[in-house]
């Protein structure tokens, strides 16, 4: 993975006419995952959740015009040991039977260092709360510098599961769930 900090959201890009106006991207679902991690006593529970849908519109000149919307498949989630996945999908935590998806919809995007601060609303168990994710964009392996047709966007942040009513096993499992989302995206021509 090649980091493109000078490229992303940067003045250098402004010179290229190709980059004007938002560009729509489609998700490469097979190459995209949502990783999560939470505390379990002194240990960690880690896992992944498939991304079922992502609508991304990236504007490298006017970053604020970018939008990100993502839908996750709760039932397809996996965790580092079998009980954790079952507990997580069960009614006391994510309740995948009644709430099969988690969604994120950006409300504002701002440049932030080498990346962007993406403010948005996340809906878990039918409860919608604001969440802040940090985004960094990389170019995918095998692409040349300046090629924006294939990108990798990494979003990191955290949520407090109690805020969404996902309170099961609170005495054993941490409240903060740290997210590390890797979305590989392809520009829609």
Partner 1 sequence: MRWRNDPQHFGAVTRLIHWGMALLIVSMLILGTKLANMQPNLSNLALYGLHKTGGFLALSLVIVRLIWHRISPPPAPLGPPRAWANRAAKLAHGLIYLLLLGIPLSGWIASSATGIDVMVLDRFVIPPIAPVSAAWESWGFWVHGVLTKALMGVLALHVAGALKRGIDGDATMQRMIGG
Distance (Å, whole) CA 40 – CA 173: 5
Q: Least distance from C-beta 94 to partner 1, angstroms?
A: 11
3-state secondary structure of 63: helix
CA-nearest of 132, 163, 151, 144 to 24 is 151
Output helix, strand, coil percentages for the chain, rounded to the nearest 5. Answer: 15, 50, 35
Interaction between residue 166 and partner 1 (CB under 8 A): no
Return the number of the residue (2 or 81) whose C-beta is nearest partner 1. Answer: 81
Q: Least distance from C-beta 101 to partner 1, angstroms?
A: 19
Return the number of the residue (59 or 78) whose C-beta is nearest partner 1. Answer: 78
Of 34-42, 60-68, 111-119, 155-163, which segment contacts partner 1 by CB under 8 A?
A: 34-42
Binding residue (CB under 8 A) for partner 1 from 17, 30, 43, 142: 43
Return the number of the residue (17 or 41) whose C-beta is nearest partner 1. Answer: 41
Question: Would you say 140 and 162 are in contact if contact means Cβ atoms under 8 Å apart?
Answer: no
């Amino acid at each position: 993975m090649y980091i493109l900090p000078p490229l992303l959201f940067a003045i250098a890009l402004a010179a290229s006419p190709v980059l004007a106006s938002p560009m729509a991207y489609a998700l490469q679902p097979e190459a995209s995952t949502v990783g999560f991690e939470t505390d379990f006593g002194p240990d960690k529970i880690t896992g992944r959740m498939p991304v079922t849908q992502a609508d991304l519109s990236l504007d490298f000149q006017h970053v604020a015009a970018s939008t990100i919307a993502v839908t996750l498949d709760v039932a397809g989630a996996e965790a580092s040991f079998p009980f954790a996945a079952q507990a997580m999908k069960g009614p006391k935590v994510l309740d995948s039977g009644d709430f099969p998806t988690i969604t994120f919809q950006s409300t504002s995007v701002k440049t932030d260092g080498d990346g962007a601060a993406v403010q948005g609303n996340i809906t878990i168990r039918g409860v919608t709360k604001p969440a802040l994710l940090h985004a960094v964009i990389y170019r995918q392996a095998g692409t040349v510098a300046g090629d924006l047709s294939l990108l990798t966007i990494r979003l990191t942040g955290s949520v407090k599961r109690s805020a969404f009513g996902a309170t099961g096993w609170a005495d054993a499992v941490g409240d903060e769930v740290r997210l590390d989302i890797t979305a590989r995206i392809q520009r829609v021509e």
